[in-house]
Amino acid sequence: MDTLEGNILGRMVNASNSTLVVESQGQQFVYKPISGEKPLWDFPEGTLALRERAAFVMSELLGWGLVPETRLMNGPLGVGSVQTWVEADTTTIEVTEPNKIPDGWMRIMSGVDETGHEVTLSHANDKALSQLAVFDAVINNADRKGGHILTDDNGRHYAIDHGVAFHHETKLRTVLWGWIDEEIEPEWIADIQRVRQQLADTELTELLAPIELDALAERMDALIAEPTFPEPNAHWPAVPWPVF
């Protein structure tokens, strides 16, 4: 296993688990040590970094390039996930007044904020973003917040924070519900089918428990059989909170 050597520039204070920004050889990385992971009631302890790596591996297997390069490395606080820093911003998800939704955007939900004002959650309607929604359905992402979608100056979307993905139970929770029941692009289904056929020979077998790998295969089979964007699970919160 490679070693991450460099200077710790700071800590992301809003992150649930220990998340550090490290500079190494003139480049910045997001380092999440396993030693800084807080235990969760529904995910096995000490596995979040493995899931971060698994999300990158799946993105690369599909050929979609959605997740910045993510490796498992031995850093200043022990083994953890190390993700290449991306210069981008959150521009595809908005919480606005109901009458101020950007033109062409998709309304997801409405509610009342802490001051008692009505607000609406919406997201952009573009093909690249809908591919990310399919990716989340594949990996069973339980925490796709608006702040976990970064868009660079060229309009390319990047997906980050996948520590609570790949659970064997259905836990899809996301802000990207705008395409429910619409048909998924045939070429994306072809990618899913290709990866499904080689799943047992990939690095994912080393990163996920057998029960999680079986559930991943079942989700892929379900999308291949019925290639439409999924609906929320009636027994699980559909949208993460907070949404950013």
Question: Which pLDDT tens digit goes with each residue over 197-216?
Answer: 999 999 999 999 999 999 99
Q: Measured on CA atoms in the order 225, 231, 237, 239, is the torsion positive or negative?
A: positive
Q: Mean pLDDT across the stretch 40-62?
A: 97
Model pLDDT, residue 58: 98
Does 243 have pLDDT greater than 90?
Answer: no
CA–CA distances in Å: residue 136 to residues 161, 176, 212: 11, 9, 15
Distance CA 162, CA 17 (A): 12
Residue type, 45: E
The mean predicted confidence, pLDDT, of the chain is 94
Say what the alpha-carbon torsion angle 141, 243, 73, 137 is, to the nearest 10 degrees. 20
- The 10s digit of each residue's pLDDT in 63-118 is 999 999 999 999 999 999 999 999 988 889 999 999 899 999 999 999 887 788 89
Assigned token pair, 105: 């955007």
- The 10s digit of each residue's pLDDT in 1-28 is 899 988 888 888 778 889 999 999 899 9
Stated length of the chain:
244
Distance CA 120, CA 211 (A): 38
